[in-house]
Amino acid sequence: MQSSKLRWYEGVTWYQWTVVIVASAGWVFDAFEGQLFNVERDQMLAELLRVGQDHPEVRKWGEYFLGVFLVGGTIGGIGFGWLADRIGRNPTMALTILFYSVFSGLTYFATELWQVGVLRFLVAMGVGGEWAVGASLVAEVVPSHARAHLGGLFHSTSVLGVWLAAWVGLLAPNWRVAFLVGVLPALLVVAVRWWLRESPVWLAARQQRDRRSATRIFQQLLIDDRRWRLHAVAGACFAAVGLGTFWTVTVAGQDLAKWFLLRQGISMDEATQRAKFAYGNIQLLGTAAGMLAFGPLARRWGRKKTFIFYHLASLVVVPVTCFAPSSYGGLLLLLPLYGAFTVGIHAGYAIYFPELFPHHLRATGSGFCFNGGRLLASVTLLFSGWLKSQPNLDPPVAISIMSLLFLVGIILLWFLPETRDQELPG
């Protein structure tokens, strides 16, 4: 029976499932550490700045620190991606998990803005690195006919991390305790080191190459071969659209909910808590559905057509969610669609980027795309921070302006290949 005729789950071994589960657990806590700041940032920054939560400085510094996070994720993703191609997936994944969990826990002790900035940068290094390693490992270990489904499933588990962050934010007595909880994922390192073996693909590739320096690997990726260079640069620009809109549009679903509640005369404290619930639970339901659907659609339609569908849907759904509701209840009905399309595209990155590069460049190339996109997206954070701090500009207008980036994503897809039903480059 040809692999193209198999159902996606047929032929997947228990060990391959173990790889997906452990890599996904790393990504769950990866997303948890990233989202915890979004859930707690208003209260944290208001305390450190000694102003009210609705002060423009809180919004401005929130966007600036998200920019810092994107830059840290870029450096960590590319650096740890190179390390994974050089010394192996297993030890590198363990190191990235230690990075994001330990430095997140240390945020408990922060008393100054610069301390928050440094710690968010270091957390982001681990967050960016774990994704590059986990996505590459899943792509290399699972059968080709299951790659779209399991790669999409791997990325979709980030929803659990967002959900955990939302509930930690709701249940923790203050933001310091919430960040202290962030040190617990360090225990996952035991599972990584105990259960996971090195990828056979990586081991075979290692036997056929010398121990390349970082300079040599990036020369191969960005200079020597036009094909890999185009994939890396266009992929990073493409990822920048999804990452930029995630931090400026998707996460802003919480700001949108708070804005609706405050307009109805709800107190700031109650509006903050209800907005956390709307973002971390109601919107998250749609986010989960959108990401889980990407894999099956990508196998049926192809990677590029599925990406285009999600981008076009986002261009419609975002302004509708911002302007159509006349009540908070109406907003809650639209938030699942808002999350489904604006975040669903991210599951495609875990499927698509590892398929663009050969074995000896896969983690480096995937990390360059996803986390190079973070660096490019940091520019949108600076613009968004300025835009959202304008006193006469309501959140629906600012969010809708930022959603125009989805159109750029559609244009960039013309420079990238279709990879459906193709073996990984050797």
Judge whether 213 lies within some domain: yes
pLDDT digits (tens, 9 = 90+) for 30-46: 889 888 998 888 899 99
**What's the full length of the chain, in residues?**
426
Residues 6+ apart with CB under 8 A from 132: 77, 78, 80, 81, 84, 363, 364, 366, 367, 370, 371
CATH number at residue 402: 1.20.1250.20
> Model confidence at 337, in pLDDT bands (50, 70, 90)?
very high
Q: How confident is the model at residue 364 (pLDDT cuts 50, 70, 90)?
A: confident
113-141 helix and 200-207 helix, angle to the nearest 10 degrees: 90
What is the pLDDT averaged over residues 340-362? 91
pLDDT band at 100 (very low <50, low <70, confident <90, very high): very high
Please indicate whether residue 155 or residue 122 has the higher confidence score (pLDDT). 122
* Percent over 90 (pLDDT), the chain: 44
Using CA atoms, how far residue 94 sits from 33, 134, 407, in Å, is 16, 11, 37
Residue 390's pLDDT band (cuts 50, 70, 90)? confident
Token pair belonging to 398? 């600012």
Helix (H) or strand (E) holding 109: none
pLDDT at 222 exceeding the cut of 80: no
45 located within any domain: yes
Cβ contacts of residue 331 below 8 Å, gap of 6+? 256, 257, 260, 278, 321, 325
**Residue from 366, 367, 346 nearest 424 by CA:** 366
Contact 375, 70 (CB under 8 A): yes
pLDDT in tens, 147-204: 899 998 998 898 888 889 888 988 888 999 999 998 988 888 877 877 888 888 777 7
Q: How confident is the model at residue 380 (pLDDT cuts 50, 70, 90)?
A: confident
- pLDDT value at residue 226: 85
pLDDT value for 1: 40
- Residue 355 inside a domain? The answer is yes
Q: Could you tell me if residue 422 is inside a domain?
A: no
Q: Which is higher by pLDDT, 176 or 373?
A: 176
Residue 213 confidence class, pLDDT cut points 50, 70, 90: low
Top pLDDT among 210 and 172 is at 172
Of 1-15, 192-206, 328-342, which has the strongest mean pLDDT? 328-342
Give the mean pLDDT of the chain. Answer: 88
Q: Is residue 134 part of a domain?
A: yes
Q: What is the pLDDT of residue 370?
A: 85
Band of pLDDT at residue 4, cut at 50, 70 and 90: low
Q: Which stretch of DSSP H or E encloses residue 259?
A: helix 252-263
Residue 6 belongs to some domain of the structure: no
pLDDT of 210 higher than 60: no
Q: What pLDDT does 2 receive? A: 46
Q: Tell me: the pLDDT tens digits for 287-320?
A: 999 999 999 999 999 999 999 999 999 999 999 9
In a domain, 19, yes or no: yes
Residues spanned by the domain of 286:
12-415
Give yes or no for residue 233 having a pLDDT over 90: yes
State both tokens at 32: 């948890």
Q: How many CB atoms lie within 10 A of CB 418?
A: 13
**Is the pLDDT at 385 greater than 60, yes or no?**
yes
d(CA 264, CA 189): 46
What pLDDT, on a 0 to 100 scale, did the predictor assign at position 42?
A: 87
- Per-residue pLDDT at 396: 93
Residue 410 has pLDDT above 90, yes or no: yes
Q: How many domains does the chain have?
A: 1
Identify which of 124-128, 203-207, 277-281, 361-365 has the greatest average pLDDT: 124-128
Mean pLDDT of 339-356: 94
Alpha carbons within 13 angstroms on the beta-carbon side of residue 33 total 37
pLDDT at 54 > cutoff 70: yes
pLDDT bracket for residue 207 (50, 70, 90): low
Confidence band (pLDDT; 50, 70, 90) for 211? Answer: low
In a domain, 261, yes or no: yes
Give the per-residue pLDDT at 216: 67
| pLDDT value of position 201 | 78
- CA-based max dimension of the chain: 67
